[in-house]
Structure 1
Amino acid sequence: MPTTATTGRPGAGELGRREREVLHAVGCGLRDDEIAAALATSEDAVAAHLARILGKLGLRDRAAAIVHAFDCGLVAPGRGPRAQPVRPAPRSAANGTAGPAATAGFTATSGPAVRIAVLGPLRAWRDGRSLDLGYPRRQAVLAALALRGGRALSRQELLDGVWGLEPPVANVVPVHIYRLRKILRIGDSPDSVIEHDRGGYRLVSGAAEVDLTRMEDLVTAAGTAHRAGDQAEAVRLCSQALDLFRGELLAGLPGPLAELERLRLAERRIAVAQRKLEWQLRLGRHAEAVDELFALSAEHPLNELVAAMLMRALYSGDRRADALAVFDRARRRLADDLGVPPGRMLRQTYRMILRGDDAGPDLTGVAR
């Protein structure tokens, strides 16, 4: 059966067979070394073919060649290549395909075969195998989809969120989506966990497990346990939620969306930690709370609520002098770094300790 590239679409008929293969691979986002490995040729030969392609089609650069590959039907975003696929050489065991047990879909009993982690450096696994997600911009596109759950993101939203004011290559979003769909395919089928509809791109519902969703489910369950009077279970569930955070959030990912999400997720982590630690104090687990609060305070030295909770935990554990020392350190840090005095809650906690009161201000209202 003739391929789309041989059916006379604009420009396609002017290329030879090997030139069409190279253009197809370029359109799929492969580098010259990947194309050379796939076609069993040299990188110099690939560069020469690409130069002839640009000349024959009147294209100015590689970016224009990618756009042309889509426009002439050689590559179709969201559905895989229309021409004979060009397969890059394997890079590592981390890129291995799913084994024989992989299926073409997900079931309620087996659970998602693809897992995506955003509560730290972006990572993804298929059937337990770590996946090579490629360039940082491509990773940022996947992170945007994972952070939005099932809500579709338009091409413009992805451009604004990942590239911001930097002018990207035309059609760059479909190119990255195409590559991600191949990486995140379901088993050996052409189906992927990413779908495209009139609203834009989204993760297929139930096709991938995202750690952010799991974290929020645990926090919700913790709130339910708390309202039922089971403080110990609430603390346990919050601990599980916090364990999902690992390392620098979205480390190395570019774009304004990643930057905003780093701030949002960091605040969410603090809020969950505060909720857990308040419940620990109510259970009388002061020593356990103190250790965790010291670590949290070191990570967020300007967070007055964390400082206030650490003071309360120390005071409740008969460490009044240490609690007052925390206030002095926080006061100096706020003055030196921000030029402001301690806020009302921190001052109220300080006065409570000076008076020797048994109870301090309620700190649970900040973590919803």
Structure 2
Amino acid sequence: MPTTATTGQPTVTTLTLEEREVLYAVGCGLSDAEVAAALALPGDAVAGHLARILAGLGLRDRAAAIVHAFDCGLVVPGHGPRETAGPAPRTTVGPARAPRMRISVLGPLRAWRGQQPLDVGHLRQQAVLAALALCPDRTVSQQELLDGVWGMEPPITKVVPVYIYRLRKALRGEDSPDPVIQRDRYGYRLVPGAVEVDVTRMEGLVTAAAAAERAGELAEAVRVCSQALDLFRGELLAGLPGPFAELERLRLTERRIALVQRKLDWQLRLGRYAEAIAELWALAVAQPLNEPVAAMLMRALYRSGRQADALSVFDRTRRALADGLGMPPGPLLKRTHQLILRGDDADLGLARTAP
């Protein structure tokens, strides 16, 4: 079996053309059903292709395949496919191969066709598009759109079909007359594979980071998780009205905070304390009642030789919990405080040297 000159590991050049296309689609975060639809494969064929890909490349599972797709350059976040050594994948393999457009919801809603920004209308019309973009795997009914965008004050007239018509017109390109939004008997949805949504890309990167962690590659996990966090840009769904946008703002905000904490925990496990302190400080200020963040900041400060600062973080968080919730610190924060007082590096789980 052909291998790389440097690592001796199998490369994507050992795969058939169809297997490379499946690996690309999996690396983009598509489900088996979406891969089958994008590549015009039988519904049960994708699992077989993926099994052969894993065996041929010596990979453990789907998450490892996603990491490999990024590592070998087959998938580049935000830039579509990139050529690798050996025969290049076909340039046309269905909508998921080269999405006709991109939508970003990890900030103010934006849409592009290639590098050309698109005008998707006023805020309520944007909210309809955001609802479709954030429900990529299913049809959204007209009633769901009414409830999610207008809430308790539904419009008098039937405006949803009008907004869908306008969005189809705005998103349709001259070189691609097919609509990006399709309708079935249950409602509306984005055509599978026709649109690249930044949330889907972000979740694919998160999956890859988790796979890297399981493989013991914490530095790689930090790198990929940082790429996922870079996709967040400004106020989430800025200005969009309705209960759906409000709930998604809360969900995505919590998702971002969880990812930041995950990345910072990996940095501490690598011994990169100074690198993590500034971001931990900012997060602790923004989340004064977040005890896991306070505990991580205390650990980082202590290992950087700043025991007094670490203890002051405990005192500040204790006061915030008392004033805000009328509660004392929880077990994690109290245990971290006691271990720092004792100077117990081992039980704090701290690396002794930074790489």
What is the TM-score of this pair, normalised by structure 1? 0.67
Report the alpha carbon displacement of residue 315 of structure 1 after superposing the two structures with TM: 1.4
| Aligned match of 2:193 | 206
Paired AA for residue 239 in structure 1: S
1:107-132 CA distance string (max 9 Å, x none): 555x2131111111111111211122
SS at the partner of 1:149? coil
1:218-253 CA distance string (max 9 Å, x none): 010011111111111111000000101111111111
Aligned pairs for 1:131-210 (under 5 A) are 131-210=118-197
For 1:181 and 1:362, how far apart are their aligned partners in 2?
54
SS at the partner of 1:312? helix
1:179–1:336 distance in 2 versus 1, CA, 3 Å: same
Paired AA for residue 321 in structure 1: A
Contact persistence 1:104–1:189 (CA under 8 A): no
Paired AA for residue 138 in structure 2: R
| Aligned match of 2:328 | 341
For 1:156 and 1:328, how far apart are their aligned partners in 2?
50
| Aligned match of 1:113 | 100
1:284–1:187 distance in 2 versus 1, CA, 3 Å: farther
Report the alpha carbon displacement of residue 312 of structure 1 after superposing the two structures with TM: 1.3
Aligned pairs for 1:19-58 (under 5 A) are none
Residues 1:282 and 2:262 aligned together: no
SS at the partner of 1:125? strand
Superposed structure 1 runs of 4+ greater than 4 Å apart: 103-109, 359-363
For 2:162 and 2:93, how far apart are their aligned partners in 1?
24
Gaps of 5+ in 2: 1-90, 351-355
| Aligned match of 1:250 | 237
Report the alpha carbon displacement of residue 358 of structure 1 after superposing the two structures with TM: 1.3
1:256–1:209 distance in 2 versus 1, CA, 3 Å: same
| Aligned match of 2:338 | 351
Larger Cα-atom Rg: 1
What is the TM-score of this pair, normalised by structure 2? 0.69
For 2:258 and 2:220, how far apart are their aligned partners in 1?
18
Gaps of 5+ in 1: 1-102, 364-368
Contact persistence 2:95–2:192 (CA under 8 A): no
1:105–1:227 distance in 2 versus 1, CA, 3 Å: closer
1:257–1:107 distance in 2 versus 1, CA, 3 Å: closer
For 1:105 and 1:190, how far apart are their aligned partners in 2?
18
Aligned-residue identity in percent: 70
1:274-323 CA distance string (max 9 Å, x none): 11111111111111111221122223222222111111111122211111
